[in-house]
Amino acid sequence: MKRVEYPSGIRDLIAQLKRMPGIGPRSAERIALWLVQSCDARPREIAKTLLIAADTVRPCGNCGFFTVGDICEICADETRSVDSICVVELATDILPLERTSVFRGRYHALGGRISPLDHVGPEDLRIRALLDRVKSGRITEVILALGADVEGEATANYLAGLLREFPITISRIAQGLPAGGGLESADELTLSRALTGRTKMQS
């Protein structure tokens, strides 16, 4: 006997939802059924919002944070200090640091970290853009806020080597971050302490 399945519309929806991070087959099925059954679902609104977000949100041309214009809210904020840059691996690392309210300078997201095993080399990251910013700006300090794992270490050391030629202080956020974890997984207090207790790599 032929096994009965949901109609193709629901099956396709489940297949699309399953591709999303953190959504397993059970959740995908639950969400798909809610979308087609519930009067609260407002599928047209969801579809419209999804398209608008996907079409308009892009990385800031300066720091790599999310924006709908050319420059993000942080880079456009003239009340923020322009003499220090906090370097992070990913754009998603910026908001956890922002929430600590310890740092009031600008950011620079590299777009990853050096990881030979994953075939990510320095040329794959926004390192040239960082050097250009340091060169052209009134930068006095670069804070390296990279993960506490091997790749984070290697990336920090590589950057410190390149930045040595500039008359700036290079510091590294204090350890105490979860070993092997990125900034995303750290709580606010740990991040705030790590920023306040940053140590000079060289000046």
Nearest distance from C-beta of residue 68 to Zn ion, angstroms: 12
For residues 146 and 121, what is the distance between their CA atoms, to the nearest angstrom?
A: 16
Task: Say how far apart CA 63 and CA 56 lie, in whole Å.
Answer: 17
Among 63, 94, 109, 139, binds Zn ion (CB under 5 A): 63
DSSP string, 18-56: HTSTT--HHHHHHHHHHHHH-TT--HHHHHHHHHHHHHH
Question: Cβ of residue 64: shortest distance to Zn ion, in angstroms?
Answer: 7
Question: For Zn ion, which residue of 17, 28, 32, 72 counts as binding (CB under 5 A)?
Answer: 72
Cβ contact 202:170 at 8 Å? yes
* Position among 14, 17, 65, 183 found at the interface with Zn ion (CB under 5 A): 65
Q: Does 13 bind Zn ion (CB under 5 A)?
A: no
Q: Establish if 130 lies at the interface with Zn ion (CB under 5 A).
A: no
Judged by CB under 5 A, the stretch of 44-52, 72-80, 141-149, 173-181 that binds Zn ion is 72-80
Strand order in the sheet with 169-172: 106-109, 84-88, 141-145, 169-172, 199-202
3-state secondary structure of 108: strand
**75 makes contact with Zn ion (CB under 5 A):** yes
Size of interface with Zn ion, in residues (CB under 5 A): 6
Binding mask 22-61 for Zn ion (x = CB under 5 A): --------------------------------------x-
CB 88 within 8 A of CB 145: yes
Nearer Cβ to Zn ion, position 77 or 187?
Answer: 77
For residue 107, the minimal CB distance to Zn ion (Å) is 7
Binding-site ranges for Zn ion (CB under 5 A): 60, 62-63, 65, 72, 75
